[in-house]
Amino acid sequence: MKIYLKIWRQKDAASKGKMVDYTMEGIEGDMSFLEMLDILNEELITKGEEPIEFDHDCREGICGTCSLQINGRPHGPDTMITACQLHMRSFNDGDTITIEPFRAKAFPVIKDLIIDRTAFDRIQQAGGFISVNTSGHTIDANSIPIEKEKADDSFYAAACIGCGACVAACKNASAMLFTSAKVSQFALLPQGRVEATDRVLNMVRQMDIEGFGNCTNTGACEVECPKGISLENIARMNREYLSASLKG
């Protein structure tokens, strides 16, 4: 395939960025999207030009670092996958592909397609810990009866990889889906109930401090989430927050 690329280039956080055009030929449909970018970078390096910086690690849809806005959609045109799982067979010969970093005030661009997502780390850190007895009188977690439905919901919430697609998809750049998933995975289990009140209050407070917007209730976050994190988690966090606020 011959494809035309429009890629965001930005020297550093303090510089202004711009879209730069590239043309690539001989692209095979079985190539992954990131492999295509690797080939482009090899060509740029051969020409003595600056390669395009982009984040990636596992390339298995697990780590969440390959956050790219592809033709206006987080992680590209397919659903339930990350950008590293996207293949060039999803595009056609002669297509123009626009590649940008995720856009959000709380996700400042570091360079080219790399963004700073440490805001997510600070939200999780604000959640603190769970009270687990490690004094030598520990109880096997499997011995604590937990309803299967709650255990399943907790696992589904814990599947969030923190890629930020929910933020990029939201017109208000809301982090409600991410934060609610991290609240839910503990709130649903007895081990997480001890600090439940402080956890939800602190995480929501930190989310607001980071500059994320409010939920739009449009559901774009769930649609673009590569792990299919449910909007039910937002409803659960809202209930947890209301209850915690009344207790406080």
By the 8 A CB rule, do 210 and 123 touch? yes
Residues of the chain with CATH 1.10.1060.10: 118-134+142-247
Give the tokens for residue 204.
């929501």
Kindly give the interhelix angle for 232-247 and 176-187, rounded to the nearest 10 degrees: 70
Residues 6+ apart with CB under 8 A from 126: 202, 203, 205, 206
Residues 6+ apart with CB under 8 A from 83: 33, 34, 66, 67, 68, 70, 75, 76
Mean pLDDT of the region 232-245: 96
Residues of the chain with CATH 3.10.20.30: 3-111
CA atoms of 194 and 180, how far apart (whole Å): 17
Model confidence, pTM: 0.93
Q: Domain 3-111 classified CATH 3.10.20.30?
A: yes
Q: Is 139 helix (H, G, I), strand (E, B) or coil?
A: coil
Mean pLDDT of the region 172-177: 98
Q: Is 84 helix (H, G, I), strand (E, B) or coil?
A: helix
Strand partners, 69: 74, 100
Q: What's residue 128's pLDDT?
A: 82
pLDDT cut 90: percent of the chain above it: 89
How does pLDDT run across 19-33, given as a tens digit for each residue?
A: 999 999 999 999 999
Q: Choose the CATH number for 118-134+142-247 among 1.10.1060.10, 1.25.10.10, 1.10.760.10, 3.10.20.600.
A: 1.10.1060.10
Mean pLDDT of the region 90-103: 98
**Dihedral angle computed from the Cα positions of residues 8, 11, 15 and 20, in that order, rounded to the nearest 10 degrees:** -30
Q: Does pLDDT of 217 surpass 80? A: yes
